[in-house]
Structure 1
Amino acid sequence: MAATDHSQQIKQDSQDYLITALLQLLKNQHLNEITVTKVVKKAGVSRMAFYRNFQTLEDILVAYFKPKIDQEFDIIINKTPQDKKMDALGNFFTDMAEPMKSAEIGNYEFIIQKIFDDNIKHFYDTVMNWDNFSDVQKKYWIKFMGAGTYAIWKEWLLTDQQESLHDIHTLIADFQIATLKALQNQTINKDI
């Protein structure tokens, strides 16, 4: 193995050890109670190894969650038929039930929400036809739907999924259709 391959493997191993250590610590502590010192001690790496790979503890969580969430959204956007996209999004949220509960308890759920927000923007940019909408309408509709969708799923997951997944899909689809119609009416009324 060449020296660069070896150093890349060491870097990847350090990242993996740090991710594993932080996730283990988060089982018993909130993120704001954990220090870099605790993480490197548990990971068995140096502070230098930490700072070669990450700037903050939040960066470790992004490195863990972002590829997983991005991959799921990629499948939903690029490999799922149009009429099955909401079902696929629902399945993603079901799969995220335990990580979401842990994130809520561990006080790092904001990291998952940020990654979700970025992906939902890409999702709507890809699956929607925006020809008849202004840039302002598009921007704020995506923000509104992203935040609303996230809040509904989070509530559903954290309250032990009392409603059926079908009911949640229907609710989100109804909100999506109603708000799009409202935007279309706004555009039509502007033109009159």
Structure 2
Amino acid sequence: MAATDHSQQIKQDSQEYLITALLQLLQTNNLNDIKVTQVVKKAGVSRMAFYRNFETLDDVLIAYFKPKIDAEFELVINRVPQDQKMAALGNFFAEIAETMSLAVKRNYEYIIQNIFNENMTHFYDTAMNWDNFSPIQRKYWTRFMSAGVYAIWREWLIDGQTESLNDIHILIADFQVSTLKALANEKHD
């Protein structure tokens, strides 16, 4: 059992070293200009260690961002009290604001957006009662809201969060409610 624990710790350490190395390289390089060789050299691990943990550099970034974004959505899905949720979101956004600007600048924003979209779909599948909506309405409303919410958070983060988190939260909730009401009022065949 101890050997297995040790192997797992080595694997976890290698993943962390690779994530850290890639994030450091992204400070000065675009994602598509970075090679696996550069990452493993900076991380101090072998290419074999890289490919035991990841298939692509995108996978490294997914391993970094997905748990962070998933955790924030879990707060919303599990209906954590508003004050706790807002405090957690505030901390999350404070942590990710610089990273978001860098993601835009270094061409890896699509990774964050894809994880966000997956979580939005999961959130709406979990939180919404879709009984009175057609599959088309469900699919496209979810995509529309995901794109809109992402665009609002992105703009807010990149613009330096000049509005309060609460104001942004209310704005998104208002958009969600009004578009859902419009969708419910739509006559479908």
On whether the aligned pair clears a TM of 0.5, the verdict is yes
> Percent identity over the alignment?
67
CA distance in 1 between partners of 2:134 and 2:161 (Å): 36
Query: CA offset at residue 12 of structure 1?
Result: 1.3
Unaligned runs of 5+ in 2: none
Please give the root-mean-square deviation of Cα atoms over the aligned residues, in Å: 2.2
Question: Per-residue CA shift, 1:35-66, capped at 9, x if unaligned?
Answer: 10100000011111111111110100001111
Query: CA offset at residue 89 of structure 1?
Result: 8.6
Moved >3 Å (runs of 4+): 83-95
Q: Which amino acid aligns with 2:163?
A: E
Question: Per-residue CA shift, 1:3-43, capped at 9, x if unaligned?
Answer: 22222222111111111111111112111121101000000
Q: Which amino acid aligns with 2:170?
A: T
Query: CA offset at residue 136 of structure 1?
Result: 1.4
- Check whether the contact 2:29–2:106 (CA below 8 A) recurs between aligned residues: yes
Partner of 1:36: 36
More divergent stretch after superposition (65-74 vs 34-43): 65-74
Q: Which amino acid aligns with 2:153?
A: W
Q: 1:74 to 1:86 in 2, by over 3 A?
A: closer
Partner of 1:96: 96
Partner of 1:117: 117
Query: CA offset at residue 164 of structure 1?
Result: 3.2
Partner of 1:159: 159
Q: TM-score, normalised by structure 2?
A: 0.89
Partner of 2:130: 130
CA distance in 1 between partners of 2:142 and 2:49 (Å): 39
The reply on whether 1:16 has 2:16 as its aligned counterpart is yes
Q: 1:170 to 1:7 in 2, by over 3 A?
A: closer
Q: 1:99 to 1:159 in 2, by over 3 A?
A: same
Q: 1:130 to 1:84 in 2, by over 3 A?
A: farther
Query: CA offset at residue 76 of structure 1?
Result: 1.8
Q: Secondary structure at the match of 2:151?
A: helix
- Check whether the contact 2:75–2:85 (CA below 8 A) recurs between aligned residues: no
More divergent stretch after superposition (86-95 vs 65-74): 86-95
The reply on whether 1:75 has 2:75 as its aligned counterpart is yes
Q: 1:93 to 1:131 in 2, by over 3 A?
A: farther
Q: 1:94 to 1:31 in 2, by over 3 A?
A: same
Q: How many residues align?
A: 188
Q: TM-score, normalised by structure 1?
A: 0.87
Q: 1:138 to 1:94 in 2, by over 3 A?
A: farther
CA distance in 1 between partners of 2:85 and 2:178 (Å): 16
Query: CA offset at residue 84 of structure 1?
Result: 6.9
Partner of 2:56: 56
Query: CA offset at residue 153 of structure 1?
Result: 1.0
- Check whether the contact 1:80–1:88 (CA below 8 A) recurs between aligned residues: no
Please give the residue correspondences for 1:134-153 in structure 2 after superposition, counting only pairs within 5 Å: 134-153=134-153
CA distance in 2 between partners of 1:147 and 1:55 (Å): 28
Q: 1:45 to 1:95 in 2, by over 3 A?
A: closer
